[in-house]
Structure 1
């Protein structure tokens, strides 16, 4: 898949170092785990899980994002299956060097469009911590709208967990109306 500035492709086993570097940045992981992901976990759990989704759910998965002009790795965008077979979950993780350039919104919009046009889903959802204001802004700019706030119990909560989690979504009808406008 391609957008104006980004190219998305499936990850391969050769991309291990890219993922290790991305997940080793504490700021990148701040609202996810709150700490860097150990290399062994990326190698033994994270990357194999990504590769498995490609086989089990054609068209879905986590896709490496590269700048079209330079080929530089900027992070990843993903469409994941949900418990509802008519819905997918969109997400992203970008390196700090890619922050503030509009890539998150551009890539998220591309995957939302892909989900409705190619995968023919009825709904696209996304979630984050309520205090993750930058990701919430990306969700809004991408055409997703606030659905709900909820609270979960975590044994080792991250700072801000007490404010809850938020879900954003867009359904096919709303997306089609906006696409025609």
Structure 2
């Protein structure tokens, strides 16, 4: 899949180093786990789980994001299955060098379009920590709308967890109306 500036492709077994580099930045992981993911966990757990989704859920998964201009890996975008019928979850994780350039919105919009236009989904959802204002802004710019605040229990909560998680979503009808506007 391609956007104006990005190429999204499936991950392969050769991408451990890129994923490990991404997940080693404490700022990238700030609202996720709060710490780096060990490279051995990327190789033995994270990447195999990513590859498994491709087989089990055609068209869905986590896709490596590369700049079209130079092929540089900047992170990933995901379109994941959920327990709800015809509903997928959209998300992303980008290197700090890619922040503030509109890539998160560009990639998220492309996956929302894929979900409705190509995969026939009825709803796209996304969530983040309530205090993650930059990701919330990406969700809004991508066409997703605030749905709710909810609270989950974490054994080792991150700072800001006490303010809860937020869910954003868009349904097919709203997406179609936006495309006609």
Task: Give TM class, smaller chain.
Answer: over 0.9
Q: Aligned partners of 2:38, 2:70: CA distance in 1, in Å?
A: 28
SS at match of 2:109: helix
Q: CA deviation at 1:40?
A: 1.1
Q: Aligned partners of 1:155, 1:115: CA distance in 2, in Å?
A: 33
Q: CA deviation at 1:126?
A: 0.1
Query: For 1:101-146, what per-residue CA distance to the aligned partner results, in whole angstroms no more than 9, with x for missing partners?
Result: 0000000000000000000000000000000000000000000000
Q: Let me know the Cα RMSD of the aligned residues.
A: 0.4
Aligned to 1:83: 83
Q: Aligned partners of 1:133, 1:159: CA distance in 2, in Å?
A: 14
TM score, norm. by length of structure 1: 0.99
Aligned to 1:177: 177
User: What 5-or-longer segments of structure 2 have no aligned partner?
Assistant: none
Aligned to 1:5: 5
User: What 5-or-longer segments of structure 1 have no aligned partner?
Assistant: none
Q: Aligned partners of 1:169, 1:52: CA distance in 2, in Å?
A: 25
Q: Aligned partners of 1:5, 1:169: CA distance in 2, in Å?
A: 25
TM score, norm. by length of structure 2: 0.99
Query: For 1:66-97, what per-residue CA distance to the aligned partner results, in whole angstroms no more than 9, with x for missing partners?
Result: 00011000000000000012100000000000
Trace 1:141-156 onto structure 2 (pairs within 5 A): 141-156=141-156
Trace 1:147-166 onto structure 2 (pairs within 5 A): 147-166=147-166
Q: Which runs of 4+ in 1 moved over 3 A?
A: none
SS at match of 2:149: strand
Would you say 1:22 and 2:22 are equivalent positions? yes
Aligned to 2:50: 50
SS at match of 1:41: helix
SS at match of 1:149: strand
SS at match of 2:53: helix
Q: Aligned partners of 1:152, 1:89: CA distance in 2, in Å?
A: 18
